[in-house]
Structure 1
Amino acid sequence: MFVILMRLALVALLVYIFYMAVKFFSNPRRKLKQAQLKEGFYFMDEQQNARKNFNFVYKGVLFEGEKHVPSKDHPLFVHSIYVWTESPEKLSEFTLEDFEKLEENIIERYPQTKIDWDQPIKKIKQKKGADTPS
């Protein structure tokens, strides 16, 4: 009887370890941090929740976007998005094409939205736009 209980406990422990491993590797926060370390791109968002902010990483810079809905009557329609970063000093390596790619990725998910950038990002975009020859 004791042997059977120990086997059941061992099976339960293995199932629990497998469940925790799957939960760990599928965690979107971990994927976001991994993309930031590898300087890749990852977009973390709950599109069905129009009131929850989204995060994305591009070239190692973590951005956050705040969704704005026009009224409580249309909770699924995102009117505008305000994007900022906690580390604007890392944006010096960005080009105008990088910002355009970020805008494309946001508009791909929210096609009828207006994107507003934080003031340091706007300055860098304007500076990069002025530096490119016409």
Structure 2
Amino acid sequence: MIVYLFRILIIAAVILLIYSIIQYFRNPDRLLKNAKETKGFYFLDEQHNSKKNIRFVYKGCQFEGEKYVGATEESFEIVDIHVTVTNPLELQGLSRDDIYFLEKELLIRYPHAKISWKHPINKLLVSK
């Protein structure tokens, strides 16, 4: 009887280990950090939860966007997004075209949104 109980405990431990490994590789914060280290693009957002901020990484620079709900002609949608950078020193090397790419990606997900970039990104968009 104790042998069967021990086997069940070993199987449960293996299942728990496999579940933990899968959860580790699917962790969005780890994927965001990995994209930042590899200087890639990763977009982290819960589109159906308007209270959660948007977080995304592009070329090693991490951004955060606050979503605001408002009324459109047909329904309530995200109508305003305020984007800030978490560390302004990471902006070094980003061009105006990169900011336009990020804006396009945001508009794909939120077509009714007006995107406003906070300091110091807005200085790049205003200056010629």
TM-score (structure 2 length as normaliser): 0.92
Amino acid at match of 2:55: N
Gaps of 5+ in 2: none
Residues 1:31 and 2:45 aligned together: no
More strand by share: 2
Amino acid at match of 1:106: L
Hey, what does 1:108 align to over in structure 2?
A: 108
2:70–2:76: 8 Å Cα contact kept in structure 1?
no
CA separation in 2, counterparts of 1:83 and 1:75? 23
The count of aligned residue pairs is 126
Structure 1 residues 69 and 24: CA distance shift in structure 2, 3 A: same
CA separation in 2, counterparts of 1:4 and 1:57? 50
Residues 1:65 and 2:65 aligned together: yes
CA separation in 2, counterparts of 1:98 and 1:50? 25
Hey, what does 1:123 align to over in structure 2?
A: 123
CA separation in 1, counterparts of 2:123 and 2:117? 10
- SS of 1:5's equivalent in the other structure is helix
Identity %: 40
Structure 1 residues 10 and 76: CA distance shift in structure 2, 3 A: farther
Structure 1 residues 44 and 6: CA distance shift in structure 2, 3 A: same
